[in-house]
Chain A
Amino acid sequence: MPSPRYWREVPNRYRLEGAKCADCGKVTFPARHVCPDCRSANMEAMALSRSGKVVTSTVVRTPPDDLLMESPYAVAVVETPEGARLMVQVADCDPEEVLPGMEVSLEFRLIRKEGHGGIRCYGHKAVPVV
């Protein structure tokens, strides 16, 4: 049974759609109806840049069962040039190399499979820019 939440989140998972406050300029990800800074309801949809910098990171060595083959892997909080922050897995690298300040691009990847016969869930992961 596909998760309804995954499907509802397709715009932010697939296209990194967040929201920008028309009053104070704050960018939120995922999109919100009310600005967390100034409480304005003038929030406009906006796609984030597919790049950013690692703010903080950790290495996962005891993963959930469906990510067993990917272990160990890094998970990082990435800040985009718009100031939005998102937590993503970091792919295509040695997880120990992922450190604050690292430049990353955000690439469209398979995030997980829902069991053996379930749907494939896609979204974005960070990949170091070298």
Chain B
Amino acid sequence: MAGIVGYGAYIPRNRITSEEIAKQWGKDPGSIQRGLLLKEKSVPGLDEDTITISVAAGRGALERAGIEPGRVGALYIGSESHPYAVKPSGTIVSEALGVGPDLHVADFEFACKAGTEAMFVALGLVEAGRVEYAMGIGADTSQGAPNDALEYSASAGGAAYIFGKEHLLVDVLETYSFTTDTPDFWRREGEFYPRHGGRFTGEPAYFKHVMTATERILEKTGFKPKDFRYVVLHMPNGKFPLSAAKQLGFTKEQWETGWIVPQMGNTYSGSSPTGLAAILDVADPDDLILITSFGSGAGSDSFVLRATELLPERRDRAPTVRQMLDGTRRYLTYGQYAKYREKIIVND
């Protein structure tokens, strides 16, 4: 059986609070915090992007796996903020991680689902015996348009997973993918900020795909919600995953560990993968874990996982998600944030 042999995550140290953004636009901070359940979000530094986040997360995954980097035969990076329009992020990440040059590299895109997409393909190649180890990364430094609801959530971070067949930290018991054509959120070529379909983003997009993928993987495995110790669903804001988890029959004890969005924001392709990393940081052997991602466009990937005896031994080799969320933070003013996100234009 194939599974996860190493994982790592990275969240930038810069933060901006929902209150600071709300003040900028004359909105009531309390109603934003209550409505979206967002307290603060991570902000990439001027020197951080999907590539640097992938390298940091990938280094953590290699440390926890304890394997020679050269044995990794495939590297896939899922993001909707690849820094180059033409030139794969994976080429730079593979060189920095030392996993190349004898490997297969590709960049994936599927809005917020590109991370689990990379993980899904990496797992498949290992199961098929095509490569010994494969790494799948989800990372983003997404932007919301100023004064748009997305500005409170769009944040930066990511997680990396290495799949293999031996010395597993986590068994992958089952996967399920569900995809339809749904125009809930998009960005045309050449546009700087994405657009979304307002109310169209809820029921027909997020809820339909997350609920269907989750229900069908439960059907496929025969597990019931109560069999799981932990669950993480894609977190576009604080509210959606709570509402979906409740409708599916999961309790607070099951979702609260992976529900890191109030402090991290929505890291898009890194969202549910980083929530999963927060779960692996504390899970006990034999715990059953369920993850369902969501990408606008739209689709969801679900994985049913089970922690092994090896997981607790390996987790201390790299920083945990909670250490990054609760550790050193630098709070930005809206002005500093606008500079960091390159919203200020200066003369050459």
Contacts and interface: CB of A to CB of B under 8 A. Distances in A.
Interface string B75-100: 00000000110000000100110100
Interface string A25-51: 000000000000000000000010010
A122 B47 CA distance: 9
Given A14-B96, A69-B346, 13 more contacts: A14-B95, A70-B47, A91-B47, A93-B330, A108-B55, A108-B56, A109-B48, A110-B48, A110-B51, A120-B83, A122-B52, A122-B92, A125-B47
Interface of B: 13-14, 45-49, 51-52, 55-56, 59, 83-84, 92, 95-96, 98, 327-328, 330, 339, 342, 346, 348
Contacts of B55: 108
B133 to A, nearest CB: 19
A60 interface: no
B52 A109 contact: yes
Contacts of B328: 92, 128, 130
B47 A109 contact: yes
Nearest to B49: A110
Query: Which of B47, B49, B84 is most buried by chain A, counting CB atoms within 10 A of its CB?
Result: B47
A111 B47 contact: yes
B46 A69 contact: yes
A130 B83 CA distance: 30
Interface string A80-101: 0000000000011100000000
Nearest to B87: A119
A120 B52 contact: no
Nearest to B92: A122
A130 B46 CA distance: 21
B51 A107 contact: no
Given A15-B96, A122-B96, A108 B46 contact: no
A10 B95 contact: yes
Contacts of B48: 109-110
Interface string A101-128: 0000001111100000000101001001
14 contacts: A15-B95, A69-B339, A70-B47, A91-B45, A92-B330, A93-B330, A107-B52, A108-B52, A108-B59, A108-B96, A110-B49, A122-B92, A128-B328, A130-B327
B65 to A, nearest CB: 17
Nearest to A92: B13
A91 B45 CA distance: 9
A14 B99 CA distance: 12
Contacts of B330: 92-93
Interface residues of A, number: 22
B275 to A, nearest CB: 23
A125 B45 CA distance: 12
A3 to B, nearest CB: 15
Given A108-B56, A120-B84, A130-B328, A15 B98 contact: yes
Contacts of B13: 92
B47 A110 contact: yes
B43 to A, nearest CB: 11
A30 to B, nearest CB: 16
A125 B12 CA distance: 14
A107 B54 CA distance: 12
Contacts of A120: 49, 51, 83-84
A112 B125 CA distance: 36
Nearest to A125: B47
A65 B56 contact: no
A68 interface: yes
B42 to A, nearest CB: 12
A69 B98 CA distance: 31
B46 A122 contact: no
Contacts of B59: 50, 108
Report, nearest first, the 6 A-B pairs whose CB atoms are least far apart.
A109-B47, A108-B55, A14-B96, A110-B47, A92-B13, A130-B328
Contacts of A15: 95-96, 98
Contacts of B45: 91-92, 109
A15 B55 CA distance: 11
